[in-house]
Amino acid sequence: MDIALLEHLKGFLTEKRMARFEKILSERTTHFTIVAEDVYQIHNTSAVMRSCDAFGIQNLHLVEERNGKSIDKEIAMGSQKWVTLHRYNSMDTCMETLRARGYQIVATSPHAEASELHEFDYTKKSALFFGTEKDGLTEEVLSQADAFIKVPMYGFTESLNISVSAAIIMQHLVTKMKLSDLDWHLSEDEILELELQWAKNTIKAHKKIVDRFNEARALKE
């Protein structure tokens, strides 16, 4: 973590902007993370990213074995600046990475054996997997999942749009998490890293500023 560079970039930001960073970072979490598997419609991925930002979930993982899409900035509404996006070419790599970071794999599924949202054990560090608009999650995810979760529904419709389902689940679980005694906050290192990245994302000419700073530092050394 380059503390000196962070302090330098802070000089280009207003006190109001830095105070906003601090407030939002105090509400951010990595206790839950979101995974979208081969989502076809670009607006759905972008809407999920927007919901991640709104509900304070820092990391969004995209598995793109078949469908690779960019983020629709109009739908994301700037959330692409604040949510950390991770991309994978294979589901195996994604699941292995998340397990290594201590996450249980949670498949969102309307199947009968899934826990209803209000019954789900929110205390466990969880990666919540969402599937394609038409077919849902692949068998690869369903067969390796540690737990299953579903949104209870009471009408003729048996499924929800991925972005709607993700928003409902995020809002419910994050609310329960924040009302609990769990230590769900970001670490100091995570906060500093995000402050640096957010500062860069905020300052339009940050690349030139960073280059000049590094050149000046090299001369001093």
Predicted pLDDT of residue 200: 95
Boundaries of domain holding 199: 1-28+186-221
State pLDDT tens for residues 56-80: 999 999 997 665 555 545 444 468 8
Predicted pLDDT of residue 206: 93
Number of domains the chain contains: 2
Predicted pLDDT of residue 152: 87
Residues in the chain: 221
If you compute the radius of gyration of the chain from its CA atoms, what whole number of angstroms results?
Answer: 19
Q: What percent of the chain has pLDDT over 90?
A: 66
Regarding whether 130 and 78 lie in a shared domain, the answer is: yes
Tell which residue, 107, 85, 105, has the closest CA to residue 169: 107
* Domain CATH number, residue 174: 3.40.1280.10
Regarding whether 69 and 54 lie in a shared domain, the answer is: yes
Contact yes or no for 84/196 (Cβ under 8 A): no
Predicted pLDDT of residue 72: 44
Report d(CA 20, CA 14) in Å as an integer: 10
Mark the ranges of the chain whose per-residue pLDDT is less than 70: 40-42, 65-78, 112, 133-134
Question: Max alpha carbon distance in the chain (Å)?
Answer: 70
Q: pTM for this one?
A: 0.89
Regarding whether 218 and 206 lie in a shared domain, the answer is: yes
Regarding whether 21 and 46 lie in a shared domain, the answer is: no
